[in-house]
A and B are shown apart, each in its own frame.
Chain A
């Protein structure tokens, strides 16, 4: 394993993140605060509690995952698409690197960025609501797995995209609706039975449910199912990336 090269890609990508501190840190904090104001204070004042948890606190795990998922995809897809767009990808392709090393470097950096942002949102939420996390290790595990799996997905999107419009297409038209309909701001049990059944086909439901369980001990689906879902999703992404590098699809002629 060429760890020096992985480190080089990782540091290079993280440097980009720190070059744009305002966009990287301040932007998610402001949007999260707005969510708290709108959903927590305005709407939350009309909803007392969900399964014994104040509505303001209830939406925290969903809010964190909403941002983490979109940031992971956005960071990872941009990280690999931009070198393709400006032509610097030749350097990565001609370097003595295997696809595993390239993915660890790019997706690892994207996952780290999202993880940092997730923690920032969690800290921000402490200023708005009282939260007592029940399963700290599980919470971190779910957060890390979500960051990694969605960064892998972002990497695939970055390879697939032929232009900036396509880069935004999947996050905008698929991921965001899935996250919003995945129980970020409500419990699945609050939905009519038909919609509860339909929601079970939304993979994001499993992630949010598991993450919320780590916070409050409450879940819409069994924790094991949540872990299995995220593991399955990660494996699927890895398999696709493996195929991409083996065939050179859209990166190597």
Chain B
């Protein structure tokens, strides 16, 4: 695979001196889904806005399909589709006309079969003659996606596509994103929802305070950074961890549950020894459960580490 989007040392400063992007460098491969995670004000939307031409970069370079977003802005932008965070639509316009408008705006000739295909794929065909103000919030989000896809882009930016939508619609959106990936569209999405990144992304990037802290293959990230926990349930409640088990840094979650954290990458996890020592300490085992850290744990950990490092 080759990089369809290349961001090099991208910086954005505002007049007041606020630095929204502090030298972001990122390559995105064609056909992948990358999720950018970050708290509010991390710089996610600024990054997207800069690549899409809505915000002017202070320095650095961005190429899309090999085209520079400043020097070859026409070629670069024609490859990009953008679904914004806010629902921004002309309320009195009809669904089909607003999608046709978007296609025309990107210089593509009117092709009713393409527009029909997009509307059908997004379950909007039966609403094509409705005014946008008549649609529900979820349907409006679908229209925004239809507008972004109208000119058949190769790269699609989804800025918090499921913010404020119900669980069912969120799952629908994930199916739509999966469909688009099957069609070969490269997708960059920003999200607050870790489960969203976990469910649909191939790679995950963590951004905070305008800096890209990490970009990693999702599965590898989970494997590399994910710590596993072993919950050992015992039959008799205890008040404190026995002294003989002090070397394991056990956490007494409740009077009958001891939690042991271990690294999956380690050669020896120490589980066999622990279970033996627990029995030797006179505690009777009732059950054992293992849990893997979620992406959310990893994300919170990374952001906290950065905040602590700066403090």
Query: Could you say which of B75, B76, B92, B105 contacts A91, with CB atoms under 8 Å apart?
Result: B105
Q: By the criterion CB–CB under 8 Å, are A253 and B88 in contact?
A: no
Which A residue's beta carbon lies closest to that of B90? A88
- Bound CA–CA A15/B101 (angstroms): 11
Q: By the criterion CB–CB under 8 Å, are B82 and A7 in contact?
A: no
Main secondary structure of the interface of A (DSSP, over half): helix
Chain B residue contacts of A96, Cβ below 8 A: 73-78, 106-107
Q: By the criterion CB–CB under 8 Å, are A5 and B106 in contact?
A: yes
Interface residues of B in 70-98 (CB under 8 A from A): 73-78, 80, 82, 84, 86, 88-93, 97
Interface residues of A in 87-117 (CB under 8 A from B): 87-88, 90-97
Query: Could you say which of A5, A248, A252, A253 contacts B105, with CB atoms under 8 Å apart?
Result: A5
Q: By the criterion CB–CB under 8 Å, are B88 and A7 in contact?
A: no
Which A residue's beta carbon lies closest to that of B54? A93
* A243 contacts partner chain B, Cβ-Cβ < 8 Å: no
Q: By the criterion CB–CB under 8 Å, are B55 and A97 in contact?
A: no
Chain A residue contacts of B77, Cβ below 8 A: 94-96
Q: By the criterion CB–CB under 8 Å, are A95 and B56 in contact?
A: no
Chain A residue contacts of B256, Cβ below 8 A: none
Q: By the criterion CB–CB under 8 Å, are B54 and A97 in contact?
A: no
* B102 contacts partner chain A, Cβ-Cβ < 8 Å: yes
Chain A residue contacts of B109, Cβ below 8 A: 4
Q: By the criterion CB–CB under 8 Å, are B101 and A252 in contact?
A: no
Chain B residue contacts of A82, Cβ below 8 A: 90
* B223 contacts partner chain A, Cβ-Cβ < 8 Å: no
Which A residue's beta carbon lies closest to that of B87? A87
* A19 contacts partner chain B, Cβ-Cβ < 8 Å: yes
| B: interface residue count bin | 35 or more
Chain B residue contacts of A92, Cβ below 8 A: 105
Q: By the criterion CB–CB under 8 Å, are A95 and B90 in contact?
A: no
Chain B residue contacts of A126, Cβ below 8 A: none
Query: Could you say which of A9, A11, A12, A88 contacts B88, with CB atoms under 8 Å apart?
Result: A88
Query: Could you say which of B76, B89, B107 contacts A2, with CB atoms under 8 Å apart?
Result: B107
Q: By the criterion CB–CB under 8 Å, are B107 and A86 in contact?
A: no
* A8 contacts partner chain B, Cβ-Cβ < 8 Å: yes
Q: By the criterion CB–CB under 8 Å, are A4 and B75 in contact?
A: no
Q: By the criterion CB–CB under 8 Å, are A87 and B54 in contact?
A: no
Query: Could you say which of A11, A12, A252 contacts B54, with CB atoms under 8 Å apart?
Result: A252
Q: By the criterion CB–CB under 8 Å, are B101 and A12 in contact?
A: yes
Q: By the criterion CB–CB under 8 Å, are A88 and B89 in contact?
A: yes
- Bound CA–CA A83/B102 (angstroms): 14
Which A residue's beta carbon lies closest to that of B100? A8
- Bound CA–CA A4/B55 (angstroms): 24
Which A residue's beta carbon lies closest to that of B46? A253
- Bound CA–CA A244/B262 (angstroms): 59
Interface residues of B in 43-78 (CB under 8 A from A): 49, 52-56, 73-78
* B237 contacts partner chain A, Cβ-Cβ < 8 Å: no
Give min CB distance, B216 to chain A, whole Å.
28
Give min CB distance, A9 to chain B, whole Å.
7
Chain A 53-94 per-residue mask, 1 if CB under 8 angstroms from chain B, else 0: 000000000000000000000000000001100111011111
- Bound CA–CA A97/B93 (angstroms): 22
Query: Could you say which of A7, A16, A19 contacts B104, with CB atoms under 8 Å apart?
Result: A7
Q: By the criterion CB–CB under 8 Å, are B53 and A91 in contact?
A: no
Q: By the criterion CB–CB under 8 Å, are B82 and A90 in contact?
A: yes
Interface residues of A in 9-29 (CB under 8 A from B): 9, 11-12, 15-16, 19
Q: By the criterion CB–CB under 8 Å, are B56 and A252 in contact?
A: yes
Chain B residue contacts of A83, Cβ below 8 A: 90
Q: Which of A9, A82, A88, A252 has the most CB of B within 10 A?
A: A88
Chain A residue contacts of B101, Cβ below 8 A: 8, 11-12
* B120 contacts partner chain A, Cβ-Cβ < 8 Å: no
Which A residue's beta carbon lies closest to that of B89? A88
Chain A residue contacts of B14, Cβ below 8 A: 253
Q: Which of A8, A82, A96 has the most CB of B within 10 A?
A: A96
Interface residues of B in 248-282 (CB under 8 A from A): none
Q: By the criterion CB–CB under 8 Å, are A2 and B74 in contact?
A: yes
- Bound CA–CA A17/B77 (angstroms): 29
Q: By the criterion CB–CB under 8 Å, are A8 and B53 in contact?
A: no
* B154 contacts partner chain A, Cβ-Cβ < 8 Å: no
Q: By the criterion CB–CB under 8 Å, are A95 and B88 in contact?
A: no
Q: By the criterion CB–CB under 8 Å, are B105 and A95 in contact?
A: yes
Q: Which of B73, B80, B88 has the most CB of A within 10 A?
A: B88
Which B residue's beta carbon lies closest to that of A2? B107
Beyond contacts A96-B77, A96-B106: 8 other A-B pairs, Cβ-Cβ < 8 A, are A5-B106, A5-B107, A8-B103, A16-B92, A87-B86, A93-B53, A94-B82, A95-B77
Using a CB–CB cutoff of 8 Å, the interface residues on chain B facing chain A are: 14, 49, 52-56, 73-78, 80, 82, 84, 86, 88-93, 97, 100-109, 147
**9 shortest A-B CB distances, which residue pairs?**
A8-B104, A87-B88, A96-B74, A96-B77, A94-B52, A95-B105, A253-B55, A2-B107, A4-B107
A selection of 27 A-B contacts at a CB cut-off of 8 Å is: A4-B104, A4-B107, A4-B108, A4-B109, A5-B104, A5-B106, A5-B107, A9-B105, A15-B93, A83-B90, A86-B90, A87-B84, A87-B88, A90-B82, A93-B54, A94-B53, A94-B54, A94-B80, A96-B74, A96-B77, A96-B106, A96-B107, A252-B55, A252-B56, A253-B49, A253-B54, A253-B56
